[in-house]
Structure 1
Amino acid sequence: MEKKEIFSQVIHMEERIGTFHDELGELKEQLAMLIEENHALALENQHLRKLLDEKDTSEQSSNKTQSSQGKPTVGEGHDNLARLYHEGFHICNMHYGSLRAEGDCLFCLSFLNQK
C-alpha cells in the first residue's frame, strides 16, 4: 500500500466515525426524550390508579351503606330493561319482549319503579 492509499483510508474512516458520532448524539437525544416521557406517563399512571382506588373505596362504602339500609342496588341489568322499555318493548313477565302498542304498561312501570 502506498502512503496516499493509507492516508485516504484514514480520512474515510475518520468521516465514518464522525457520522457515527452524529448518529449516536441523535440517538442519545431521542433516548432522553423517551425517558422523560416514560417518567411523565408513570407519574400520570400512578395518579390515575390512586384516583381509581379512591373511587372504588368510596363506591364500596356507599354500597355497604345501601346494603346495610336494606335497599337493593340498581345494576346494569335494570338499566338494560329500562332501555328496552323506552325503546317500546314490554319488560313485565306477562308480555316480555313484545311491542307496546297502546302506551305505557302498568306492570312494566311497577317493575321499573321497584328500587
Structure 2
Amino acid sequence: MNGDQQRNGIYDNLAHLGAHLTEMGDELAALKSQLNVALAQNAELTIENKHLQEAIKKLRDERDEQQLTTGRRTLNELYHQGFHVCRKHFGERLAPNESCIFCDEAIFSGMDGQKGKQE
C-alpha cells in the first residue's frame, strides 16, 4: 500500500504540475497578445510622431523663409542641401541628420529685431 500511495502522490504532483504549466502557458499567451497590441500602438505612434514633426518643420521653414532676407534665404537653402553656413565650418558637408546651432544662428540671428522693424 505504501508503494501505491507513493505512486498516487507522484501522479498527483505531476497532475498539479501539468495544470500549473497549462495555466502559465495561458498567461504567457495573454502577455504575448498584450505585447503585440502595445508594439502595434507604438509603431502607429512612431509614424504619427514622425509625420507631425515633418509637418511642424515644414511650417517653421515656410514661416522662416517668409521672414528671411534674400541672402539669408540663400544660406538656408545651402544649409538644407547639407552644407554648413556657419563661420566655424563654412562649406563643409553636414553628416546625415546632423544639425548645427551655429548655422541656425547664422541664418536666423536678428530675426526678432527684423520683426519689430516690420510691424
- Fold conserved (TM > 0.5)? yes
Moved more, 34-43 or 62-71: 62-71
What residue identity is the alignment partner of 1:28? G
Q: CA RMSD in A?
A: 1.8
Output the CA distance in 1 between the equivalents of 2:27 and 2:49.
32
- Percentage identity across aligned positions? 13
Output the CA distance in 1 between the equivalents of 2:34 and 2:8.
39
Runs of 4+ in 1 over 2 A off after TM superposition: none
Partner of residue 70 from structure 1, selected from 67, 72, 95 = 67
Output the CA distance in 2 between the equivalents of 1:12 and 1:61.
73
1:41 to 2:64 alignment: no
Q: Structure with the greater relative contact order (CA < 8 A, sep ≥ 6): 1 or 2?
A: 2
Structure (1/2) with the larger helix percentage = 2
**Structure 1: which 5+ residue stretches go unaligned?**
72-113
Structure 2 equivalent of residue 15 of structure 1: 12
Output the CA distance in 2 between the equivalents of 1:51 and 1:11.
60
Deviation at 1:66, TM superposition (A): 0.7
Output the CA distance in 2 between the equivalents of 1:31 and 1:24.
10
Equivalent position SS for 2:37 = helix
Aligned length: 71
Deviation at 1:6, TM superposition (A): 1.3
Equivalent position SS for 1:69 = helix
Larger radius of gyration: 1
Output the CA distance in 2 between the equivalents of 1:24 and 1:36.
18
Structure-2-length-normalised TM-score: 0.56
